[in-house]
Amino acid sequence: MARLKALPWQHQIRAWIVQLLARPVHAVLLHGPAGIGKLDLALDTAEWLLCERRPRSENACGQCAGCMLVGAGSHPDLHIVRPDALVESDAAASDDSGRGEGAEGGGRASREIRIEQVRSLAESIMLTTHRGGPRVIVIEPAESMNTPACNALLKVLEEPPAGTVFLLVSHRIDQTLPTVRSRCALVRVPLPPTAQAAAWLEERGVERARQRLIEAGGSPLLAAQVGHDALPADLRGRFLGLLRKGAGLTPAEVVAAVPREAPVGGSVALFQRWGWDFLAFNLAGTVRYHPDEVAALRGLAGRWRALRACSWLAELRAVRASADHPLNAKLAVEGMLLSYVQSINET
Ligand SMILES: [Zn+2]
């Protein structure tokens, strides 16, 4: 599944977790924005806990049987509990089909951590560990546990067997149950510094690293995702040109500019970011995704009503939900642009 090593911006926080676990702490909740590598951090910590030469170092040795088993994804004392939909979409993203849909994929598999998963976990942790060392349970994302699953977890969180460590990961800590939070040591994982994240992306051959990073809200893993809402640069420029025209954009210009095979998902994502930027500029004077477009957004602010912008964004969400199988890509993208102009002209 994921890489195992903590990412370069996590070294400090990784050292802090090591110190934390030296105390009698048996549950840690790592929380922070999505796409910054919290799962990698949790897995790296798990590998260190399960390293059979651990007392010698703050890092896993990478050579003992424990490390080998973790690396192979088959350590019997490492339990990773995630929604089926996430497991499936990760598997799809790592095969060669190029269908990496990220967290949005996953067909009909459950997006929740189900009570059955927690029950079978609770049963298995009552047995002695397979390798006689600690046992590590990674739960990601913690907010995807439904209430019955949370309640089942609380029982084991209260009194876990000796040597059991829970590492919970949450992108939305406000959506986790207070009863779960209160039993964990909370560790906030911040967004990495922009320069460091951009350098990391560039090392991985990601083009337009800084711009992609901005578009991904500062989350490097989202920015690095293959096909993450990326439009070819020329199309992106062309579409931004259309959006800038606002009320002056004509149907003929739209029809001429949208190619037959316009990527619907990437187009919706660009339009959504435009709408969000407009609202943010309108309400708070800030621009998150398109800092170069402040002048155009200011021009729109006098004409486009925030409520209309919200309705347009709601339409985009509906298109996005069916973006994988539009009947006609060109029509779908044209429709979004025409309804953009309409929403500006409506009073
Ligand atoms: Zn080891």
Predicted confidence (pLDDT) at residue 99 exceeds the cutoff of 60: no
Q: Please name the amino acid found at residue 307.
A: L
Confidence (pLDDT) at 57: 77
What's phi and psi for 183, nearest 5 deg? -95, 5
User: In which domain, by residue range, is 310 found?
Assistant: 233-345
- Considering the domain architecture, whether residues 36 and 151 belong to the same structural domain is answered as yes
CA 202 to centroid of ligand 1, rounded, Å: 31
Residue 37 and residue 7 in contact, taking contact as beta carbons nearer than 8 Å:
yes
Q: Please say whether the beta carbons of 150 and 180 come within 8 A.
A: yes
Q: In the structure, what pLDDT confidence band is assigned to residue 300 with cuts at 50, 70 and 90?
A: very high
CA end-to-end span of the chain, whole Å?
50
**Structural domains of the chain, count:** 3
Are residues 242 and 249 in contact, defined by beta-carbon separation less than 8 angstroms?
yes
Q: Are residues 211 and 171 in the same domain?
A: no
Q: Is the pTM of this model over 0.85?
A: no
Distance 83 CA to ligand 1 centre (A): 28
pLDDT of amino acid 168: 98
What whole-number distance in Å separates Cα of residue 263 and Cα of residue 259? 9
Is the omega angle on the peptide bond into residue 141 within 30 degrees of 0, that is, cis? yes
What is the Å distance from ligand 1's center to 117 Cα?
28
Do 201 and 282 belong to one domain? no
pLDDT at site 32:
95
Question: How far is Cα 232 from Cα 157, in angstroms, rounded to an integer?
Answer: 48
Going from the Cα of 168 to the center of ligand 1, the distance in angstroms, rounded, reads 22
Same domain, 213 and 239: no
> 103-118: string of b/e by CB count within 10 Å (b at 16+)?
bebbeeebeebbbebb
Q: If you measure from the C-alpha of residue 75 to the centroid of ligand 1, how many angstroms do you get, rounded to a whole number?
A: 12
pLDDT digits (tens, 9 = 90+) for 118-155: 999 999 888 888 888 999 999 999 999 999 999 999 98
> Identity (one letter) of the amino acid at 123?
E
pLDDT score of 324: 59
Rounded percentage of the chain residues whose pLDDT exceeds 70: 90
106 has a pLDDT exceeding 60: no
Q: Between 329-345 and 264-284, two packed helices, what is the crossing angle to 10 degrees?
A: 20
Residue 107 belongs to a domain with what CATH number? 3.40.50.300
Residue 1 maps to a domain: no
**Cβ neighbours of residue 149 closer than 8 Å, sequence gap 6 or more:** 112, 113, 114, 115, 117, 118
Out of 214-218, 239-243, 259-263, 322-326, least confident range: 322-326
> Stretch 24-53: mean pLDDT, rounded?
94
Residues 191-236: tens digit of each pLDDT: 999 999 999 988 877 878 888 888 888 999 888 875 556 688 889 9
Q: What is the mean pLDDT of the chain?
A: 86
Amino acid 323: pLDDT: 61
Q: Are residues 201 and 185 in the same domain?
A: no
Same domain, 300 and 158: no
71 & 176 share domain: yes
